[in-house]
Structure 1
Amino acid sequence: MHPHPNETPALLIIDMQQGIQRVSTPRNNPGAEVCIAQLLEYWRSAGWPVVHIRHISRQADSVFAPGQRGALFQPALAPWPTEQVFEKNVTDAFTHSGLERWLHARTIRRVVIAGVASENSVEATARSASCLGFITQVVADACYTFDKTDYHGQLRSADEVHAMAMANLRDEYAEVLSSADLFGALLGTAC
């Protein structure tokens, strides 16, 4: 069962660039890229809108600086010429990017979010999407993050950071679900 045309979701893939692969800090969800590739394949086969978000840093020494290899998309998740690309300079993909206008112009009311980092650009983008009135879903196993030291100086594992980011979003800002549950809903079957 596919959604009604006005409910066709846009897939937002956030910051899946080569530079993120250079982060040496331990991460969670080692299969996230495979999940994202499966989502991308499904969206492409359905002919649904795919949006690739690319972080372009304003800091010249960043791996995401313009002209750096790190700013390029990972080849396995690179956009097709028919897919939309938005660049951002901050964590939120909606800020100063034209993404909201692009979605509204196509009467897209629902977004499905995947990418990196869970507590950073994924969370910021999901919060904005919800606050702007979009039906927002975050695919937890298609997102990941890294170990991080908390406010009190305690090192938190990537799993803990990710779980907290998903908890921050769940219910108030987004429906947080697994890729299996999302595919089950899209196909009209239980997984």
Structure 2
Amino acid sequence: MVPKVKRALLLIDVQQAFLHPKWGPRNNPQAEEEMLFVLNEWRRLGWEVIHIQHRSHHPGSVFHPSNDGFRFKEGFDPIPGETVLEKDVNSAFIGTGLEEHLRQLDVTEVVIAGLTTPHCISTSARMSGNLGFTTFVLSDATAAFDLVDPDGRTLDATLVHDVSLATLHGEFATVVKATDYVRALFPDNSGASLQCPLP
């Protein structure tokens, strides 16, 4: 008998700090809509939801608890029974007890959404894969901002997003759209189960 997969949804840094204009242009304006779609499915099924909240130690940071940016975006406040962990670095696994929490729940599959693709999403997905969790990153439920490279060139947010996901897919995680992931959970005549290429 095949053991039942236990899954956890990891929502990373879905905070008002990312509404600040200092970040510049962003891709995937529909990312939050896709995050909510998956979050609502997870809640409907009664599965583990883990909210990761970035807490800066610097009072001037938009992520400092004294600033509005620390709060979750509208619609993303945790409900009773959901786990909230705070981090102060890029990885959701450093200094948070996240790995221990997942192990205690016998979670083997981690599904990641949130902000931003090249930073906390990528770092957390890499660690998740390296720790042995079957890891999925929902490509349309995350987003990136423009970045400036060491030579001063501006890299378009869509390029940053796409390259970040390409470096994850097939190596640390499986990258898939939110609707495709959810549809694959309940295959019917029009769909098939989603396979992760990782061992």
TM-score of the two chains, using structure 2 as the length reference: 0.91
User: Is the partner of 1:163 in helix, strand or coil?
Assistant: helix
Structure-1 residue corresponding to 2:70: 71
Does the CA contact (< 8 Å) of 2:6 and 2:106 recur in 1? no
Per the TM alignment, residue 113 of structure 1 is displaced from its structure 2 partner at its CA by: 0.2
Contact 2:137 2:173 in 1 (8 A): yes
Matches within 5 A, 1:175-186: 175-186=174-185
Measured in 2, the distance between the counterparts of 1:31 and 1:162 equals: 14
Deviation readout 1:60-103 (Å, 9 max, x if unpaired): 10011122211011121111121000000000000010000000
Change (3 A) 1:5 1:177: same
CA RMSD of aligned residues (A): 1.4
Does the CA contact (< 8 Å) of 1:6 and 1:109 recur in 2?
A: no
Return the letter of the residue paired with 2:16: Q
Following TM superposition, the consecutive aligned residue runs of length 4 or more in structure 1 with deviations greater than 2 angstroms are none
Amino acid at match of 1:45: R
Determine if contact 2:59/2:66 at 8 Å carries over to the other structure.
no
Q: Which residue identity does 2:19 align to in structure 1?
A: Q
- Shift of residue 8, structure 1, vs aligned partner: 2.3
- Structure 2 counterparts to residues 66-145 of structure 1, below 5 A: 66-145=65-144
Aligned counterpart, 2:56: 57
> How many correspondences in the alignment?
188
1:150 equivalent in structure 2? 149
- What secondary structure is seen at the aligned counterpart in 1 of 2:75? helix
Q: 1:11-26 to 2 correspondence within 5 Å?
A: 11-24=9-22, 25-26=24-25
Is the 8 Å Cα contact of residues 6 and 107 (structure 1) preserved in structure 2? no
Measured in 1, the distance between the counterparts of 2:21 and 2:140 equals 19
Is 2:26 the partner of 1:7? no
Gaps (5+ residues) in structure 1? none
**Structure 1 or 2: larger helix share?**
1
2:197 aligned partner: none
Identical positions, percent: 39
Contact kept, 8 Å, 1:18 with 1:70, in 2: the verdict is yes
Alpha carbons 1:36, 1:114 under 8 Å: kept:
yes
Q: How far did residue 180 of structure 1 move?
A: 2.2
Q: Hey, what does 1:34 align to over in structure 2?
A: 33
Tell me the secondary structure at the aligned position of residue 171 of structure 1: coil
Question: Hey, what's the Cα distance between the residues in 2 that align with 1:5 and 1:60?
Answer: 47
C-alpha separation between the residues in 1 aligned to 2:86 and 2:3?
27
> Does the 8 Å CA contact 2:11/2:52 hold for their aligned counterparts?
yes
Matched residue type, 1:147: D
Letter in 1 for 2:122: E
Please state how far the C-alpha of 1:5 moved relative to its aligned partner: 6.8
Structure 2 unaligned spans of 5+: 193-199
